[in-house]
Structure 1
Amino acid sequence: MKLPIVCIIGRPNVGKSSLFNRILGRRAAVVSDRDGVTRDRHYQNARFKGHEFTVVDTGGFLPDDTIDVLADSVRTQIFNAVNESDLVLFMVDVRVGITKLDQQFARLIRKLDKKVILVANKSENGGDRQESYEFLKLGFGQPRTISALTGYACLSLLDEIIAVLPTPVRGERREERPIKFAILGRPNAGKSTLLNRLLNEERAVVSDIPGTTRDSIDCDFVVDGKKFVVTDTAGLRKKAKVDDEVEIFSNMRTLESIRRSDVSVLMVDCTRGLEIQDFRIITEIRKAGKGLVLLLNKWDILPNKTEKSFDHMVKEMMEREPMLEYVPILSISAKEGQRINRVIQAIQTVYANCRRVLGRDNVAQAFAKFIEENPVPSQNARTVQLTRACQIMVEPPVIAIETRTPDLVAESYKRYLMKKFFEEFQLQGAPLRLNFDMKLTLRKDEELEQFTESSNSVLAGVDTQRHMDRKNRER
């Protein structure tokens, strides 16, 4: 069945990706205060009150005279998305107010005869909401004041969205969404060798899909009936060492591969060990909220290898980065094919952990047990109380913990709770996050399961792997 399409547009940094994530109930797009985090179209399926639709995140609209070399491409992608959509959400920033770029963009959109809802974002404060009426000048009617970051009025916006969308047309084929993973690492860590090894498995059916960038090829294959899409990436170098324009974009594409993957596979040359740039890559993976599998490659040529070499190397890495305790670490030889089958198994495990609904009662009971075993320490002679906990997101899994004093929760106690949740629910590889909030918004298991179900399938023939990065903002 062909789903109706909702397209989110606006100038840079008005909160398009934040609203995209809010509609999905999970972090599918990276959000940053920096302009230019999204360039290409990003498609995901969403479900609300039994209604399913496709939502599209787009890059920020830039003027003709911008110095951004990719501005023309971004504009093309935006208008392609608008033309295929059934509903357009035109976003503005109520704090900044109406800009010349808003007006220029609105004039172009009005010519397309599309159903448009004007969304005035960042309206969590009453004073800001009162200023929203100046956006009537854009010609899209009364603005809907929301806050994509806090969730203010977003449910009302979703009610309006499903009310105006057409009924889905049946008859179009749907497919199970493949597991998408990116192979990452420093230059010459063995990424392409692993890719070739994975695609040369006798039981894998292989076909090439042109990627969204000039030098990137996404390959899809099937293992034991399960579909995968793998992206090989250029080696990610230190920014200080990147002064060639081609290599700059290569790094950007690597970061983009992280964002549009479900799981990131970090390859480390075990003869060199973890280096500073590997830790930078791990940081980018965490910031993107993606699962992680770490591979110690070239194990066949590790000098002076003994039975305890693996344990010693893993212990040393955990001393430098304690969070690696919760990440699957494998020693492999991509060249010789050693333990390659375990790589696929680890990817599947981490993918499942990222999407797990832990169970509202299970989280509450586990949280109560953790608090009883190790009470919350006071801070600056003030009592710190953590009252309850609930999972509020999947992909990545997020557990919200209610407290009147979130700023007083000791970092050591946060690490304690993180460790206990990982151990209790066996979330190896998942980017679990703990939020400490003054007011907890409880989510039912059924709501979280809906988010998982809505991302389980894609329309056959619709490319859901879209994005690229942009840099400049025009007000």
Structure 2
Amino acid sequence: MERNTNVVAIIGRANVGKSTLFNRLIQKRMAIVDDIPGVTRDRLYAQVEWAGKSFYLVDTGGFPNEDEPLFDLVGKQIDRAIEEASVIIFVVDGREGILPLDFRIAEILRRSNRRVIVAVNKIDEPMHEPLLYEAFALGFEDVIGVSAEHNRNIPDLLDKVVSYIDSEDSFQEDGKTIKISIVGRPNVGKSSIFNSLIGEERAIVSNLPGTTRDPIDTEITFEGKKYLLIDTAGLRKKSRLKDDIEFYSLLRAERAIDRSDVVLLVLDVTELVTDQDKRIAGIALEKGKGIVVAINKWDLLPEGQPKLGDNIIKDVKDQLYFINDAPIVTISALSKRNLFKIFNVCGEVYARWQTRISTSNLNNIIRDIISFQRLPSDGKGRFLNIFYVTQVGTAPPSFLFFVNDKNLVDKPFERKVINELVKVGDFKGVPIRVFWKNRRKLA
């Protein structure tokens, strides 16, 4: 069963404490908090877990008055947040009371047809509870008095939020379907690839609804294997704000990656690897997913220059060195060059993702490492000693090393060990988890 991927957006006018509430709910200090109205201009997001459920929490800029210079910019960003969200936390200032702009925001939220929870902030003590009553005039059923600064009634707010979040996805996992998320920057051709893959006369099993505001997931059979394609395209071109589109493409990518086994990272041959591509690849690696890189629009390269193609592939490998030599497929969604090779390559990565290496083979690896590598030391003559290793998990493959002192392990050595495991286990495109544990001395 997959983890749910709902989005909860914090909406409200400037300086009511939205960013303070955001930081309180995620238990980290991410949002910029300042007494100057309008400090938060872009959205921030983080994953929150509460009572066995998870959701993405999005912080937005303060809802502006029409006479403010950034009215159009911030207003469109907030519109996008409302569009993406399944639940809205509408924050008002209990000390100031309900202002005309709050009523205007309430009207917009009612038209959005989303679940709305009114969080009346700055209710720091029980004596402030009567300030709640005015907020009921906004017309929403759920009104909770909180103090983001003093952590008052925050659990009650979270309880209410997760009461509107489904704990299960809308499809049942059969254990035999390989789930592939198609991710990447806007305009690299994700939707064209998705449509081409499902548009052929293959055995289309069913169209399965994804999360609340996601595009349709499609399950198909290719050469006897079942695949679930999770499309992250579908951002409407309503917004021309580059940063806004990139923000939500990254959010959608992370939500899709959560639900997948293998991530298909799509690049554009005319632009190749950007910082956002690296961020998406890093998210996939952090979440322990298999990775395949697809370089789209390969047909745009001039003919008769094979070295140019080789140099492009080398550059991609160099830029994405941290994803363990992930397979690269050069494709064209337009001409369908190598398009259906994607299924086979993703299937191979999926198989490696679940591979288990015998303990005897692992310990042979350790002998080779010890023979040819200078082991880390504390600089005082005490060197790392590896006694044995065992694989403790798959999907992703995870290994536990028993050593004399785990504090002697440095990052370069750990990277070398991971590279050896990638070679021996043929774990190309598969994240590796390595853990170090001190072996207790025998009495």
Alignment of 1:41-80 (within 5 A): 57-59=52-54, 67=90
Alignment of 1:308-327 (within 5 A): 308-324=307-323, 326-327=325-326
- Contact in 2 for aligned 1:190/1:297 (Cα 8 Å): yes
Output the aligned Cα RMSD.
3.9
Determine if the alignment matches structure 1 residue 418 to structure 2 residue 428: no
State the one-letter code of the partner of 1:59: S
Post-superposition offset of 1:99: 8.2
- Greater CA radius of gyration, 1 or 2? 2
Runs of 4+ in 1 over 6 A off after TM superposition: 68-71, 103-107
State the one-letter code of the partner of 1:387: F
State the one-letter code of the partner of 2:271: R
1:37 matched residue in structure 2: 47
Alignment of 1:388-403 (within 5 A): 388-403=388-403
1:340 matched residue in structure 2: 339
**Secondary structure of the equivalent of 1:205?**
strand
State the one-letter code of the partner of 2:288: G
Structure 1 window deviating more from structure 2 (397-406 vs 426-435): it is 397-406
State the one-letter code of the partner of 2:224: G
Post-superposition offset of 1:206: 4.8
Determine if the alignment matches structure 1 residue 207 to structure 2 residue 206: yes
Separation in 2, partners of 1:222, 1:354: 20
**Secondary structure of the equivalent of 2:336?**
coil
**Secondary structure of the equivalent of 2:362?**
helix
- Contact in 1 for aligned 2:250/2:280 (Cα 8 Å): no
Post-superposition offset of 1:250: 4.9
Q: Residue deviations 1:109-159, cap 9 Å, x none?
A: 9xxxxxxxxxxxxxxxxxxxxxxxxxxxxxxxxxxxxxxxxxxxxxxxxxx
2:223 matched residue in structure 1: 224
State the one-letter code of the partner of 1:297: N
State the one-letter code of the partner of 1:275: T
Separation in 2, partners of 1:299, 1:366: 39
Task: Indicate the percent of aligned positions where both proteins have the same amino acid.
Answer: 29
Determine if the alignment matches structure 1 residue 259 to structure 2 residue 258: yes
Separation in 2, partners of 1:261, 1:65: 26
2:435 matched residue in structure 1: 435
Alignment of 1:240-251 (within 5 A): 244=244, 248-251=247-250
2:140 matched residue in structure 1: none
Post-superposition offset of 1:33: 6.4
State the one-letter code of the partner of 2:290: G
Post-superposition offset of 1:387: 2.1
Q: For this pair of structures, how many residues does the alignment match? A: 305
- Contact in 1 for aligned 2:330/2:338 (Cα 8 Å): yes
CA distance change for structure 1 residues 305 and 289 in 2, over 3 Å: closer, same or farther? farther
Determine if the alignment matches structure 1 residue 296 to structure 2 residue 306: no
Give the structure, 1 or 2, with the largest relative contact order (CA under 8 Å, sep 6 or more).
1
2:376 matched residue in structure 1: 377
Structure 1 window deviating more from structure 2 (380-389 vs 415-424): it is 380-389
Separation in 1, partners of 2:211, 2:292: 24
TM-score under structure 1 length normalisation = 0.56
Post-superposition offset of 1:204: 3.3
Q: Residue deviations 1:354-404, cap 9 Å, x none?
A: 111222232223222322232413232232222221111211111122234
- Contact in 1 for aligned 2:253/2:280 (Cα 8 Å): no
TM-score under structure 2 length normalisation = 0.59
Structure 1 window deviating more from structure 2 (405-414 vs 347-356): it is 405-414
State the one-letter code of the partner of 1:330: V
CA distance change for structure 1 residues 195 and 390 in 2, over 3 Å: closer, same or farther? same
1:454 matched residue in structure 2: none
**Secondary structure of the equivalent of 1:285?**
helix
**Secondary structure of the equivalent of 1:234?**
coil
Separation in 1, partners of 2:154, 2:343: 47
Alignment of 1:171-210 (within 5 A): 175-210=174-209
- Contact in 1 for aligned 2:324/2:431 (Cα 8 Å): no
Q: Residue deviations 1:297-343, cap 9 Å, x none?
A: 11111146622233212222333332355210111111111112211
